[in-house]
Amino acid sequence: MRYASITDRLRGLGSGKWAVHFEARRRADAGEGIIELTIGEPDIPPEENLLDVCTEAMHAGRTGYGIGGGADPALADAIAAKYSARTGRTLTAANVLAFPGTQTALYASIMGLAEKGDEVLVGDPYYATYEGVIRAAGASMRKVPLHARHAFHMQAADLERAITPRCRVLLLNSPHNPTGAILTRDEIAALGEVCRRHDLWIVCDEVYEELIFEGRFVSPLDLDELAERSIALSSISKSHAAPGFRSGWAVGPAEFCERLLPVSETMLFGNQPFIADMTTYALTEPSPTADILRTTYRRRADVVTAGLAGSPLVPLMPDAGMFILVDVSALGMDGETFAWAMLDRGVAVMPGGAFGAQARDFIRISLTVPDEDIAEACRRISAFAATASTERPRKSA
């Protein structure tokens, strides 16, 4: 039988990147005691108020078809108000598209901005689904190295060197997964100037915006000189501990939203009314969830740093988010080898190579389990590292 070429373009770019995670789940289901530090799923439930709004909306009959268009009117107004306050400019429903999660918003955005023969610039390391999204559109991913010596912040000079005549989009992720790095206003302005000279769109995945440990978040969309070419993507998955509700959005120029609307509507003709009501409530009412998560993840990152002190492993303290990277290169092995070895010792972590070549010598630890589990995982990791460092030769310089 025949298949469309997209199935070939995406071969190997799906769930295979989470092989360690799925094997950990299989072993746990079989009765093994596994400390799971792989995926970023908040370990606190959504607020009761959110659940109440959602269920009340369903009981009130908000279970029919959505009306189509960019978003439910009340939700579109709530999203527009959020970004108007953040940018200092007046945005309206014409600047908003709603999607079932940030991933879908990303897919639709790239489908609307890139196609066969085009290239999309992405910092390496990068979130594991980015390459698949880009290749689904027929485009190719053009990697921009993010170096540990720059704390994994994209440098304008590195971006400039990576650009080719085929480049159409810069896909940013700030706060960054897996590194937890946050781009500053000056860094964004410098990157934006490169994009202006080369007439590139800027798509920014900002799902961890509310989980910054210190300082203030800045988006390309916030800069007046970049607003005409910038699209911000986000959701309530992380900020409100509600990933299963799949409620996200894209905010950008009105022309972008108008042109992308048919793409959106062919994917999901109108968002789910009861989820729209819940999301509207989440964006318009005070919430303690993000504050709780910020405090919790920062504390747990400190637990990892303390737990690995004295070992040959080097944790990189994140500035935001729910993960911490750990450099395992001193053991003479890459993150993939280390992750599988730790799984045999009851600890599941993500190999850095799942996020690109620049993270190959790292593992990513999720901070979404209780402190005592993280502490125990670090004891096991340190014990293995101590043994491995005496048994394996170090990498040559």
Could you tell me the domains of the chain? Answer: 6-45+289-389 (3.90.1150.10), 50-284 (3.40.640.10)
48-60 pLDDT, tens digit each: 999 999 999 999 9
User: Residue 65 above 90 pLDDT?
Assistant: no
SS3 of 11-54: the string is CCCCHHHHHHHHHHHHHHHCCCCCEEECCCCCCCCCCHHHHHHH
Rounded Cα distance between 339 and 349, Å, is 6
C-alpha closest to that of 233 among 306, 177, 287, 158 = 177
266-280 pLDDT, tens digit each: 888 878 999 999 999
User: Residue 42 above 60 pLDDT?
Assistant: yes
Q: What is the pLDDT of residue 392?
A: 52
Please check whether residue 287 is in contact with residue 48, taking contact to mean a CB–CB distance below 8 angstroms.
no
Q: What is the pLDDT of residue 394?
A: 42
- From residue 60, alpha-carbon distances to 57, 63, 244, 247, 272 in Å are 5, 8, 22, 20, 14
69-125 pLDDT, tens digit each: 778 999 999 999 999 999 999 999 999 999 999 999 999 999 999 999 999 999 999
251-260 pLDDT, tens digit each: 999 999 999 9
SS3 of 337-393: the string is HHHHHHHCCCEEEEEHHHHCHHHCCEEEEECCCCHHHHHHHHHHHHHHHHHHHHHCC
Categorize the per-residue pLDDT at 41 as very low, low, confident or very high, splitting at 50, 70 and 90. confident
